[in-house]
């Protein structure tokens, strides 16, 4: 009888822990959000994120609160001589949290660690040519998003992306868009949409735009999107996210349907900033 009672209590405690864990996590996050935002951090944002001043006040407040939670939960590790400072942490967090505004978020739940290299890092990749011959090539990367809890970033490319908010290139936005895409499994260009969005409509708009980019690449034509977006649908979503935040006016004018889908997904309208 005692052993049964013990098992019952142990099971009840286990279930209570599992059910109560999300509430406890949110309680801790609210405590972090209520902390005063450090003046040193605000200086970093103003210096490294030019369009912060143009954002509405309520979005500035949201962003700062998200930054606080992000920095309390994610670990940063420097490689090849990079010493992780608040400047590095806040610069990356500010751009990453730009993707989380105006909606319920679990702060990139799969992500545990951000690895920072001083500049573009080299990765070996095995591939095959059209004849089926396999070979290994070295690729220089500015960033990479892994599905098992890590993002790798070049600090120099992070600074370059933050310095010019209108060039359509931002490695932090790109890699964290991949993290959003990976929340429901493998990145495929279709992240978890809100209730007011339709997957069929998303697929139609993105597929048409992806095909158009591939045609532009083949013809060598200019595109608002980086040619890298033609690699696959996942890369196109990440590249389109960069353009959405950094070339919003052009995107809305040239591709209104795509802009609408991204605006519904990210819950913001950067053209009004």
pLDDT tens-digit map of 104-135? 999 999 999 999 999 987 775 555 445 555 44
Is there a single domain that holds both residue 103 and residue 216? no
Domain membership of residue 53 (yes or no) is: yes
Is there a single domain that holds both residue 106 and residue 42? yes
Give residue 68's pLDDT.
98
| Alpha-carbon gap, residue 57 to 52, rounded angstroms | 9
Q: Of 123, 151, 179, which residue constitutes the final position of a domain?
A: 179
- Please give the helix or strand (H or E) that residue 72 lies within, else none: helix 57-73
Give residue 135's pLDDT.
46
Domain membership of residue 11 (yes or no) is: no
Domain membership of residue 4 (yes or no) is: no
Give the strand order in the sheet containing 113-117. 75-78, 113-117, 150-154, 143-146
Domain membership of residue 85 (yes or no) is: yes
Is there a single domain that holds both residue 114 and residue 32? yes
Q: Of 125, 151, 179, which residue constitutes the final position of a domain?
A: 179
Is there a single domain that holds both residue 132 and residue 201? no
Domain membership of residue 226 (yes or no) is: yes
Range of the domain at 264: 188-273
pTM higher than 0.85 for the full model?
A: yes
| Alpha-carbon gap, residue 60 to 65, rounded angstroms | 9
3-state secondary structure of 20: helix
| Alpha-carbon gap, residue 168 to 150, rounded angstroms | 24
Average of pLDDT values for 66-80?
A: 97
| Alpha-carbon gap, residue 204 to 220, rounded angstroms | 24
3-state secondary structure of 150: strand
| Alpha-carbon gap, residue 163 to 146, rounded angstroms | 25
Is there a single domain that holds both residue 137 and residue 267? no
Is there a single domain that holds both residue 239 and residue 259? yes
Domain of 97: which CATH number? Answer: 1.10.472.150
**Least trusted range by pLDDT, from 19-33, 144-158, 160-174, 180-194:** 19-33
Give residue 132's pLDDT.
56
Domain of 202: which CATH number? Answer: 3.40.390.10
Domain count, the chain: 2
Is there a single domain that holds both residue 32 and residue 114? yes
Q: Of 130, 152, 179, which residue constitutes the final position of a domain?
A: 179
Q: What is the pLDDT of residues 147-175, one digit of tens each?
A: 789 999 999 999 999 888 889 999 999 99
Is there a single domain that holds both residue 216 and residue 87? no
The partner residues of 126 in beta bridges, in order of sequence, read 136
Backbone φ, ψ for residue 192 (5° rounding): -70, 115
Is there a single domain that holds both residue 66 and residue 168? yes
Answer yes or no: is pLDDT of 14 > 70. no
Domain membership of residue 2 (yes or no) is: no
Domain membership of residue 167 (yes or no) is: yes
| Alpha-carbon gap, residue 66 to 30, rounded angstroms | 10
The encoded tokens of residue 178 equal 């991949």
Is there a single domain that holds both residue 170 and residue 36? yes
Domain membership of residue 8 (yes or no) is: no
Answer yes or no: is pLDDT of 97 > 80. yes
Q: What is the 8-class DSSP label of residue 228?
A: G
Answer yes or no: is pLDDT of 94 > 50. yes
Is there a single domain that holds both residue 206 and residue 90? no
Is there a single domain that holds both residue 108 and residue 59? yes
| Alpha-carbon gap, residue 194 to 257, rounded angstroms | 17
């Amino acid at each position: 009888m005692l052993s049964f009672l013990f098992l019952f209590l142990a099971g009840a405690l286990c279930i209570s822990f599992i059910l109560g864990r999300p509430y406890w996590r949110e309680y801790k996050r609210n405590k972090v959000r209520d902390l005063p935002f450090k003046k040193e951090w605000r200086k970093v944002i103003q210096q490294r994120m030019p369009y912060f001043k143009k954002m509405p006040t309520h979005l500035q407040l949201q962003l700062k609160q998200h930054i606080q939670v992000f920095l309390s939960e994610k670990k940063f590790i420097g490689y090849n001589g990079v010493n992780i400072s608040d400047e590095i942490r806040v610069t990356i967090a500010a751009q990453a949290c730009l993707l989380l505004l105006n909606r319920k978020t679990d702060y990139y739940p799969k992500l545990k660690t951000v690895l920072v290299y001083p500049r573009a890092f080299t990765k070996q990749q095995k591939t095959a040519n059209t004849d089926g011959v396999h070979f290994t090539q070295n690729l220089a990367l500015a960033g990479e998003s892994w599905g098992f809890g890590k993002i790798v970033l070049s600090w120099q490319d992070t600074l370059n992306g933050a310095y010019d908010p209108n060039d359509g290139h931002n490695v932090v936005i790109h890699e964290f868009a991949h993290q959003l895409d990976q929340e429901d499994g493998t990145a495929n260009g279709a992240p978890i949409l809100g209730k007011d969005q339709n997957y069929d409509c998303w697929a139609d708009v993105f597929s048409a735009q992806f095909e158009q980019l591939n045609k532009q690449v083949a013809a060598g034509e200019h595109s608002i999107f980086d040619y890298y977006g033609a690699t696959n649908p996942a890369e196109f979503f990440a590249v389109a996210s960069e353009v959405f935040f950094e070339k919003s006016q052009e995107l809305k004018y040239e591709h209104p349907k795509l802009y609408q889908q991204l605006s519904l997904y990210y819950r913001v309208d950067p053209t009004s900033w």
